[in-house]
Structure formats: C-alpha cells, structure tokens
Structure 1
Amino acid sequence: MSMSMGDMPMGSMSMGDGVPGLFYLQNMYWVIVGSAIAAAAVVNTLNRVLAQHRLRDSSVTPAKPKSHFFSIYATLTATAREVSYATIHPLSVGKYTIHFPPLGPVLIILANLIVVLVLCFYKLDTTNVWKWENVGYRTGFIAICQLPLIFLLAGRQNIIGLLVGMSYARLNWFHRWISRTLWLTATIHMGFWFRNWARYDYITYKLKNDPLTTRGFAAWCILTLIMLTSLAPIRRLSYEIFVLQHLVTFVGFIVAVWLHAPNEVKVWVWIPIGILVFDRVARYAWGAYANLSIFHRKCTESAIWTHSASFTALPGNITKVTIQNPGIHWQPGQHVFLTCHSLVPLQSHPFTIASIPEDNKMEFFIRAENGGTRRFFRYASKGRVLGAEAAPTARGRTVFVEGPYGTIRSLCQFDSVVLMAGGMGATFAMPLLRDIASAWKKEILSEDQRKSTHMRRLTATKRIRFVWVIKSRSQFNLFESQLQSVLANINECRRVKPDFNKEIDISIYITCDEKLEPPTVPQTLQLISQGLVDDQSSVWHEEKTAIATDHVSVRSISTESSSSSAAAGVGKGCLPSRGCCCTEPIEDEDAISPDACTCSGPSPASPGLVVPETIAEKTTDTKTAGSLDSKANFVSGRPYPRTIIRKVLEKAEGESAVVVCGPMGLADDVRRSVVYLSDERAVHKGTGAQGIYLHVENFGW
C-alpha cells in the first residue's frame, strides 16, 4: 500500500527522468519570493533617494524629474500605478456592499498562486493513477515551505515591511490571502492522497489507524477553521474574540503540522516559530522601553510607568484620550496600540495619533463602538451634565502604548498634496496637513539660516487641498482648533514674507447637519397656498432670513423628501425632524453660486439649477485671513473627487500626492479618479503632466 508523507525520506526521491526534486522546488519557490521582495526593496530605496534629492534641489520645481534616469523611472512608475490602483465598482447585494481590492495587490496574489500551482504540478501527470502519490508528496512539500512567508507577513515588527516600505496593516491583507493559497495547496495535497486511497476504500481505515494521517487531517481541519473565521464578516463580529481564537488555533495548527511533517522538512516549521518569537521579543522589548519610566524620567512623574492618559467624552460618542509628554516619537499618520488594563483588561486596540510631535502630547479621538471603546466612553462620561458639550476630563489612568506603526511616503517631497478624509478619517489626514503647514512656517522663519548654511529645504510642497466629509457640524468641532493652528501658521508665513506663494484650500462637506432647521409649519403652509409646492411633496424653499449658527451664517435652505428628490434626481434623505441632509455629489464646488444656495433642490432664483448650499464663502482676502470661516468652505453634500483632484493636478509643477482615509466608498472613488486622471492626462508619457502618488489608509481591504 502507498505510504503517506513521513513514512520515508522523500526530499531526494526521484519521481522520473527530468522531474525536479522536492527540495529543489522548495528552494525555487523562495528564490522567486526573495526576488520579488528584493525588487520591491530596490524601488523603496530609489523612492527614498528621490525624496532626499528633491529636498536638496534648490530649483523652483524640485518635485519634477530633471535627469534622463528619473524621467524613465517616472514613466515606468506612472504606468505601474495606473495598473496597480485600478479597482472595479463595488457590488451591491441587498443591504450589503462588496468592495474589491485594487488590481495591484490582486495581481501579486495571483502571481503567487500561479507559482505555487506550477511548482505543484510541474512535469507530473495527474491523469496517471500511479502518479497520484507523487502529486501528494509534491503538494505537501510545497505547502509546508509557504509557512515562513505567512508568518513574515503577519508580524507587527515586520522585516518585509521594513524592506519594501509598507505597513504591517497592509501586509496583513497579503498574509490572509497567501494563507488561503496554503489552504488550497494543503487541500490538493490531502485530496490526491484521498483519491489514491479511495480506489481501495481505504480512507476511513487510514484516518482511524494511521497517526500520521490523523495528524495531517487535523492540521487541515484547523487550517480550514482559521480560514473561515478570518473572513471579514465573521472577523468583524468581535475583534477580541477573533484574536483570541486565532492564537489558539494557530498553536494547534503548528503542533499538528510539526507532528505530521517528516523530519527532513521540519525546518519549515521551526522557521515560523523563530519568526514569531522574534516578533514577540522585539515588541515586548520596545514596549518595555516605551512604557517604563526608568527610560523616560523627563517625561513622567510616575514611579514605574511612563504614560498616564486623561479621558474626555465628546458629542457623537467620541472619547478624546490625551497622553502628555509621551515617551516615544512618531511621524504624522502613524498609529499605536493602546492598552488600559484598569478599564479594559488584556485588550489592545490600534488608534491613529491625531496630534503631531510638536504638540508634545498624543491625542486620540475614539468612537465608541463595542467592547473596549464603549468602556472608554462610559468612563469618560461619568459626571457629564445633561446638555453639556463635553464631560469633565476624567482623572488620569495608566496606559500602555505599543508602536508607533504605519508607513507613508513623506508628503513633503511632493509638489501638490490632496488630503481627503471621511468622518473619523480626519485623525489620519489632519496631522499630515499640520505637518506640511508647520514645515512651511519653519522654512520661512529659518530661510536666512538655510541659505547661509546650504541646509536642505524642509518641504517641496507648494499647495495643499484638504477635503473633509462629515455628517454633522459637531464632528467639525473635534479639529477646529487644529485647523485654526494651520491657518495661524499660514498667516505667520505671510506676515514674515509678504510674497509667500504657497496655497492651501480647505473644504468641509456636511452631509447631514442637525443645526440646519427646515422652515416652520406656517411658512410651509404659506408656500403651499401660493402654489409653489403641493401638500404632498414636503418641499421647503429658500428662506429670506439668515439663520445664525455657531461659526457660520446659513443664507438659505432647501430640502426635499425622498420621493421628491428621487424624481428630481437630487439629494435624498432629508427629514424635517432631523434637519437638513444632503448626499448629492457636488461636481464642481467652485461653480456654487452664493446668491442661489440650496441644499438639495432647484433654487427658486434659478429654476432647474441644482446647486448645494454654501455655508461659508471662500476668499483670499488677507485682511480676514485669520478667520477660519473666511478660509474654509463649508458645503452641504458629498465631494466629487475627480474634479477636486483634477484642479490640483492642473496647477502641479511636479509629482503630486493624493491621500484618502475614510469609508471604503470614498476610497474607491478616489482610486478610480486617480487612475482616470493619470490615463487622461497621459502622465509622464510626453504630455508634460506630472505623476500622481496615491495612499489609501485602511486596515486591509
């Protein structure tokens, strides 16, 4: 009878003339994987060199390729980006929407799958029943040699991420899909052995009486469980439970594989264990340095621990967590894993750092969902007075931070930067905005010193376009002070240097504002009596009087019921009891007429014209530059990314960066817009249009 994997040494076994050995194929897999990682590392190194070159360039267009080599590199990069960023439209299935990953990562996973399948079946005749054992052996050897890559992609202290310049959070997506490739390989391995035994009705006997077969089948069952529980809908039910069961099942899987594998290939099991130990030791060592006060006596008065955090409850079920004088340094856009055992024992969650290092404090804005974040909010809400904007700051609690994590190319190397955030995505985009504005200020204040000492410039960025989409005005209050600090930096630059030529454009899109009240019932009845609307449509037209709000003046309001708006093809979801809701995309914000502002329907002054409400006008009047309202454009509706990005690119004199953080729908729109504009403008293909770098911040796809 045939023997299962482990009954005899198989690494050097001959499977026929010209058929490669099993060890040779395992090595070939890692030659291919290593070559791919090396190529990505070379690209990452070139990008770093390019960034340094731009900051040392004293010309007026530092972000524009000037040498023949970098021009060719820019053309190749632009072509690769168009392919890599492309994504198809989401698929709606009932109440659910399925979002697809961009083409670039998909091609990498498909390439890995093709390599694995070719190595599994190369020069083997699967139609020959006498070769099924060979297929079983081959697929087993190929399956087990994939384990190190899976563990390399899973660690937070990630060697691959360090080489290729990619965050562990993004690599985790590859970890999941390569794990599924491993499952497929293991299934083929098991399937061919079962297929061979089925000829003799021998499957049940082997499972009951052969320990090696039993261990292998157990390993496959555990791997199947891991794969199923890692699917996004199940994983998101309870992240804490997912992490716990993932660790438990992982240990069971490794033990089962180690018992099933022959001694000659157990090295492929020991390598993942070594990687895991390295990741844990590195994390705990760094965590000890970051959190023990003995290493940061200047940062804390505590006897043992470095960090003490205050908790403040804010409107919208938001908890602001503040750590003064943190013991670690970070870059804008990074995140840390935050742990507070006194409130949420044995749990650690990733939160984006909403402040910049200059603040000398870490701030986190955490929306209360389930589990630990809900407990944070409950603790911060103690003592809250009914109707108060925020609860008193809760007393400090000892917290532990792990990190920082997250990787993004420095935005200071780009000529123009577009930052788009949706909701709490501003915790990622706002520090990036503040970092560039701070660099502008530092450059102006130290301009004479830099010229005399030939210091490199701090930033090559000339213009910033910041777009933030929020549901209500209360969310805007979270970052109002930070936006004020950005404008204060710009004003300081203009005061010191009157010919300061940097541009910044800020837009706040409000999709549903509870402070925009519809007209009163008598006003509505008056409109109906005048024949302007019928009593079935529930349409409110333009108000003659302005409505005063906290920061701005609302000149006019027009909302429609869902039935009317559906017929008109405009904004939906406007409910009189909940204020003004406008979700219609605004194709051109600059085309909004301040004299004919409406929320989601045609203005009486301009019949048939659909324009959203402009709450505050944009102006470049330097006399009022200190006012936030004079510099930020408040608009009701949703942004149209393609138009926003195109207007920035038309002015760009070098490579531009587009950064988005928010709902997956917004990220998809931005991806498609960047691909469309790159192709339309024939970036780096002879038209003179400059490149577009895209960064989408999310935890996987």
Structure 2
Amino acid sequence: MNHNLVARHIQDHSSAENEKYYWGYPSRVVPCTNDPGSCEYLDGVYWMHTVSMLYTFILWAVIGGILLIIVLGRLVKPHKRALTYGVQENEKQDFVYRIWRSTASTSRRYLLPESFPRLFPNTTRLQILILAALCVYLTIFSFVGIVYKTWITPVKNSTKHNTRTGLGGFSDRLGALAYALTPLTIGLSTRDSILSLLTGIPYQHFNFLHRWTGRIILIQSFIHTIGWTIIEAKLYQPQPKVYNDFIKQTYMIWGIVAQGFISFLFVFSLRPVIRWTGYEFFRKSHLVVAGLYLGACWGHWDKLACWMIASLGLLGIDLGLRIARICLIHFGYKDGNKGLGFRACKSKVEAFKDPSGMIIRLSFTHNHEPWKIGQHFYLTFPALSIWQSHPFTPASVPPTALVPPSHTYIIRARNGETGKLATLAESASNNKGASPETPVILTGPYGCSVIDNDVSNILAIAGGTGISFTLPVVIAALADQSPHTQNVEMVWIVRHVENLLWIAPELLSLKSQLEPHTTAGVNVAERKQEGQVTVRRSKHFRIHIFVTRASETSAHPPHISDKDLEIPFASSLVSLSADSTLQELIKPHRDFSITPLDHSHPSISSIIDSFVDETVENGRTRVAASGPAALGTDIRAAIAARNSGSAVLAGDERTDVDCIWDDRMG
C-alpha cells in the first residue's frame, strides 16, 4: 500500500535525503526532487491534508465543548425552593432560577414545534437546527483551505501531461470528515449511549441525527469516490493504464467494498424497504453490515484507523452491556431450588378484541432491580423467536420496597411476533377462557426517568396503547407524599369505550382516588417546620376519556352488582364479567368524564390550555404524552404556544410548560 501511494505521489523514497512525517498520510520526501509544478502540487496536497486534520479535531472540539456545557449546566442547574405560607401568591422564585426557567421556556416556544414535515416528519425544530448547524460546518470546512489551482506536469518517458488540481485534496477532505463523523454516528445509535449519560436525553431521541449523519457520510463518500475516479481515470495519463493500476490496489478494493456496505445501509434503512423486508431484518443486517463497513474503512485507509477503532469500541461496549443486562436480570437461582441458571419470566397473556384489532396485556413478576418511571425494556419471546426483540414501556410502577417488581405491558398486535402473541392468547381464551403463559426475556431498562420534583402540575395525555407510558407517571405522582406535585390530570384517547378494559384494575384503582375537594381543590393543613408555617395541599386529580368512535360502540351494559366485579376478566370476548367491569369503569364522577366523539379527535390545544388555566398552583407544568405521531405533533405545537420566557422571568410559572414525548407504543 505504501509503495502504491508513493508512486501515486511521484516521490522517490529510496533516494530521499530525509522524510517528513504526516499524521494520517504518507511521509513526504524532502527536499522535493521533481519538476517545479509537481513540487508545488505536493506542497498544496500536504498543506490541504494538514488543514483537513485540523478541521476534524476542531469538529470534535466543538462537540466536546457542547457536551461539556450541557454537563456543567446539569450540575449547576438551580432548583425550585419552597415558598412560605401567607405570601405564596406574591412571592417569587429567586432571580437565577427564573432566568434559567425563562431560557428553557423561550427555547421551547421556538424550537419545540415541528417544521418541514414532508422532509422531516415528526421532528422538532431543535433537531433540525442541530442538523443544519452540522451541515453548515461541514460545508464551510469542506471548501475552506483548498488550493484552487491547476498544474500541468510532464509524464516521465512520455509526451503526455498530467493535470493536477485541488480536487484530490478536496476529495481527501471529505473522506477525512466522513471518518471523523463515524464515531458520532455510532454513538447516536447505541442503546447504552454515552451521549445519554452526559446529556440526560434518552437514546431514542438521537435516532433522527443518527440517520442524517449516516446520510451525510454516504454523500461525502460518494463525492470522495467520484473525485478520485475523475482524477485517476481522466486527469492522470496515460489511460487506461493509470486507472487500471489504481483500481487494482488493495486499499482501493477495500474502498469499493466500504462504499458497497454504506450504500446497503442506506437503501435498507429506507422506510419502504423496511416495510418490505421486515424490521428485524433491518436491525440485524444494519448491525452486522455496520461492523463490516467499519472494518472495510480500516482496510481502505489504515492511517486514520483511530476513527474506526473508536467506532468499533462503541459498538462492542453497547453489545457487551446488552449481554450484561440480560445476565443480571435472568441469571440466578431457579424456582424450586434447581440451582443456578437462566430464568425466563413466565408471563400471562390476555387478549382484548375490538373492531380496530387486537390488544395484548402481558403481565409477570420477576426478581430484579427496579427501573425508573419512563424507562422501557426490550422484550424477546423465545417460544416464538429468539432473534426478535421489541421495545415496550411498562404500564406498571416499579416497587419502592424490596419486593419483586411486577411488569404489565399493553401491546397492540400487529404482524410478526405481536401477531403470534395475539393468536396464542385468542386460541387459549376460546379454550374455556384460560389465560396462556409464555416465557419472556428482558433487556434493559433503557431511557431516563421522567420524574422532576420541581414540577407542580402533571398532565398525562395518551393515545391508544400510549397509556403504557403515561399510566405509571400518574400513579407515581399520586403515590408521592411530598408536596411537589399538586395537580394531576390523565387524558386518554381511545377508539372504543371497551378499550378501558385494557387497564381495568389500574383504572378502577385510580377512580377510587378521585376524592371530593374543598373550594378550588385545596385542603390547607398548617404545620410548623423549622419555625415557619408551610402549606400542604391535597392533590387535585381528574380523569378525562375521549372515545373517538363512540357511534360504533354499544358499551352500555346493564348495571350488575358489585359481587360480579370480583370475577376476573381474562377473555377478549365481552363476557358477563367484562360487562360488569366496564359498567364500573364508566360510572360517573365529578372528576371523571367520558366524552364520545363521532370519528374525530379532541382539540389538544384546548386540553392543555384548560389544564394550565385551571391549575390552582402557580408552578411549572409537565406534559407526559405518548401515542400516534400526529398526536405528538399537536402536543408540541400546543405546548410551544403556551410557553413565554418573559412571563416566567416576571414570576408567572404557568407559562413554563415542558413536554416529555414517548413514541414506543405496543
């Protein structure tokens, strides 16, 4: 490889008086003994390479600086202080806290909504802004520092001439930037992401940038390839000898292989192709081909192998931690004193059928470390396939005591594994209503906690099976005995009223906590604490159900005695026990409502505005939501409109509304 590079760069190392080392590039013969034009060209080539290396270091210095600022910001972030009783309505938080929250509110107002939906569907302006900044940087530094000049140099023992330009340095610049971007692209795709550890942002929110940085690398690699093809097949003489010798070189063969791998990654990550080949093929092939691509890049230009080593290291750490997570959860003493070994979770599968399809309720108990509210697990069903895993958010709350955690998952049955689960559950329910069991393997937990003790008001909005994400948020907020959160509201948008049976036990428990409140929903209890009198408020809790296809349902069963409610529901058929449970679920209450809609959806902006305007606490509001992508679009727009940095700075915390969106639904 070095011999071929030497020949390409018209330098005679065997008779060199001295050689100058260049990091990431072949050494240069000094002094230059070629013709003046060739020597001047070599001056330009090596200078452009030095500048290219500088730009790759600057790129990572900027990335590191941004991460450092985020980490420091998380460490020094001011927190809300408790206000004293008697002057609570007039007293403000300290100025530093208000500045911090005002900045956050202003950024949400302008950066939370979505833009360019056709090109960037369901993507916030913040993500687009980050991508635009990266593209601007790469564009500027791809063209700055290039020697824009042409040299016509003679070919030895020939009457032909070589045309030497800055195209080679430009092509190498794009290749170097593509190599430098590779660890970032890998880091944006891993589940155990160091970026999540540093920023506190769940790894799935990096998927957008992972896809687009990968596409940027694809574009850079294609231009790099086209540039050198033009040089070796057209500008250098004599042809076709020069090109034939060039394309046979080992490093060029690896370059062609790498180009094929990255083209595969792009084509098979397109949504239509994923739908055609299946998501699991995409996941497995993407991982394998990505590793092969990194190895091919290493073989193509081993002088910049540091970027590939870092990328392979990130992949290896991620895979290693996945295996470690599985071992920590599933290896231990088996039931029945059978010794140490692998223990799969034995889960009960229940199915609920409605005109829109089938829903699976998966529940089991397994002894392992509890997760945090908002985190999710990857579930594998070995009885169906050991090669597939899917992310699901538990609809249950992790225990606070030393007891085995109970998992509950609400999963919409689609094609593939979830469809097989539905078939399993339905066949069992038709067989005397029995609930089948199936083994489950967990990997996780992944993601970050969504609990913030500085939040005073929580609005949970779910669409369909998105209730898996919002239900634990509501349950945890109500169970919290601290005075942080005072107003909690759960909004659930379903297609049919029978869908309430998905979470019947949890919903009945929540309805039992709907207690009457005093005026304005506040019960004041005075207590002395360190010589001051503080306020303790009872939580104001409401539930709103919206049924979007009410006209198709007939869920108004006759009243059945409370004794019938003790019969467990385990069938997808609307049996007598299910009817009685549903009757109990839809009982009216002043803080519980079911609103039928005729093939329409509720106004999300009205829901958010009403909740914020009616809160009795002048404090921050958090909207935790999950559901279809269109619901996320409406929520982002409505929340952005409610934020006002100037009002927050003036002390009105009602205009400080943030959003936690989760789109992993069953």
TM-score normalised by structure 1 residue count = 0.73
**Where do 1:247-286 residues align within 5 Å?**
247-262=287-302, 264-286=303-325
1:369 is displaced (CA, Å) by 0.6
Q: Which residue of 20, 24, 27 maps to 1:11?
A: 24
1:180 paired with 2:215, answer yes
1:355 is displaced (CA, Å) by 0.7
Q: Secondary structure at the match of 1:23?
A: helix
Q: Secondary structure at the match of 1:83?
A: helix
Q: 1:300, 1:337 → 2: CA distance?
A: 27
Give the AA of the match of 2:605.
R
1:151 is displaced (CA, Å) by 1.5
Deviations, residues 64-101 of structure 1 (Å, cap 9, x unaligned): 9611111111121112122220213755xxxxx98341
Q: Secondary structure at the match of 2:370?
A: coil
Q: Any conservation in 2 of the 1:429–1:660 contact (CA below 8 Å)?
A: yes
1:22 is displaced (CA, Å) by 3.3
Give me the CA root mean square deviation: 3.7
Q: 1:299, 1:432 → 2: CA distance?
A: 37
Q: Which residue of 539, 547, 552 maps to 1:502?
A: 539
Q: 2:337, 2:512 → 1: CA distance?
A: 28
1:356 paired with 2:369, answer no
Give the AA of the match of 1:21.
V
Q: 1:685, 1:356 → 2: CA distance?
A: 35
Give the AA of the match of 2:510.
V
**Residues 1:415 and 1:350: Cα distance change in structure 2 (over 3 Å):** same
1:122 paired with 2:144, answer yes
**Where do 1:654-665 residues align within 5 Å?**
654-665=619-630
Deviations, residues 107-158 of structure 1 (Å, cap 9, x unaligned): 1111122222233222214575611111122221111111111121221111
Q: Any conservation in 2 of the 1:491–1:625 contact (CA below 8 Å)?
A: no
Q: Any conservation in 1 of the 2:349–2:435 contact (CA below 8 Å)?
A: yes
**Residues 1:644 and 1:5: Cα distance change in structure 2 (over 3 Å):** farther
What's the counterpart of residue 381 of structure 2?
340
1:110 paired with 2:73, answer no
Q: 1:626, 1:342 → 2: CA distance?
A: 37
**Where do 1:134-145 residues align within 5 Å?**
134-145=169-180
What's the counterpart of residue 521 of structure 1?
none
* Greater C-alpha radius of gyration: 2
What's the counterpart of residue 265 of structure 2?
226
Point out where structure 1 has 5 or more consecutive residues left out of the alignment: 92-96, 444-457, 518-546, 553-615, 617-623
What's the counterpart of residue 648 of structure 1?
611
1:45 is displaced (CA, Å) by 3.4
Q: State how many pairs are aligned.
A: 567
Q: 1:427, 1:63 → 2: CA distance?
A: 39
What's the counterpart of residue 510 of structure 2?
486
**Where do 1:41-52 residues align within 5 Å?**
41-47=71-77, 50=79
Q: 2:513, 2:212 → 1: CA distance?
A: 45
Share of identical aligned residues, percent?
20
**Residues 1:304 and 1:628: Cα distance change in structure 2 (over 3 Å):** farther
1:487 is displaced (CA, Å) by 3.1
**Residues 1:223 and 1:482: Cα distance change in structure 2 (over 3 Å):** same
Q: Secondary structure at the match of 1:315?
A: strand
Q: 1:5, 1:516 → 2: CA distance?
A: 78
Q: 1:5, 1:275 → 2: CA distance?
A: 34
Q: 1:222, 1:252 → 2: CA distance?
A: 7
Q: Which residue of 442, 445, 451 maps to 1:401?
A: 442
Q: Which residue of 485, 491, 513 maps to 2:550?
A: 513
What's the counterpart of residue 424 of structure 1?
465
Give the AA of the match of 1:132.
L
What's the counterpart of residue 86 of structure 1?
113
Deviations, residues 188-239 of structure 1 (Å, cap 9, x unaligned): 2223212323434669636742332232122122212211221233334411
1:655 is displaced (CA, Å) by 1.4
Q: 2:93, 2:503 → 1: CA distance?
A: 39
What's the counterpart of residue 36 of structure 2?
none
Q: Any conservation in 2 of the 1:488–1:626 contact (CA below 8 Å)?
A: no
Q: 2:304, 2:194 → 1: CA distance?
A: 23
1:259 is displaced (CA, Å) by 1.0
1:514 is displaced (CA, Å) by 6.0
**Residues 1:671 and 1:122: Cα distance change in structure 2 (over 3 Å):** same
1:240 is displaced (CA, Å) by 0.9
1:154 paired with 2:184, answer no
Deviations, residues 282-320 of structure 1 (Å, cap 9, x unaligned): 2211210111124x9899999641522222222241222
Give the AA of the match of 1:111.
A
1:412 is displaced (CA, Å) by 4.0
1:169 is displaced (CA, Å) by 1.3
Q: 1:32, 1:551 → 2: CA distance?
A: 66
1:488 is displaced (CA, Å) by 2.6
Worse-superposed segment, 487-496 or 639-648: 487-496
Q: Which residue of 368, 384, 389 maps to 2:413?
A: 368
Q: 1:5, 1:252 → 2: CA distance?
A: 28
1:653 is displaced (CA, Å) by 0.5
1:684 paired with 2:648, answer yes
Q: 1:227, 1:69 → 2: CA distance?
A: 46
What's the counterpart of residue 494 of structure 2?
470
Q: Any conservation in 1 of the 2:517–2:540 contact (CA below 8 Å)?
A: no
1:672 is displaced (CA, Å) by 0.9
Point out where structure 2 has 5 or more consecutive residues left out of the alignment: 10-21, 29-42, 151-163, 526-536, 561-581
Q: 1:291, 1:64 → 2: CA distance?
A: 52
Deviations, residues 453-477 of structure 1 (Å, cap 9, x unaligned): xxxxx35111122211111112111
Give the AA of the match of 1:677.
R
1:392 paired with 2:434, answer yes
**Residues 1:265 and 1:321: Cα distance change in structure 2 (over 3 Å):** same
Q: Any conservation in 1 of the 2:258–2:296 contact (CA below 8 Å)?
A: yes
**Residues 1:433 and 1:414: Cα distance change in structure 2 (over 3 Å):** same
1:690 is displaced (CA, Å) by 3.4
Give the AA of the match of 1:309.
S
1:665 is displaced (CA, Å) by 1.0
What's the counterpart of residue 330 of structure 2?
291
Q: 1:400, 1:102 → 2: CA distance?
A: 34
1:507 is displaced (CA, Å) by 1.0
Give the AA of the match of 1:648.
F
Q: 2:6, 2:180 → 1: CA distance?
A: 14
Q: 1:208, 1:247 → 2: CA distance?
A: 29
Deviations, residues 604-643 of structure 1 (Å, cap 9, x unaligned): xxxxxxxxxxxx9xxxxxxx99966543211122211112
Q: 2:464, 2:367 → 1: CA distance?
A: 26
Q: Any conservation in 1 of the 2:374–2:450 contact (CA below 8 Å)?
A: no
1:549 paired with 2:546, answer no
1:350 is displaced (CA, Å) by 0.9
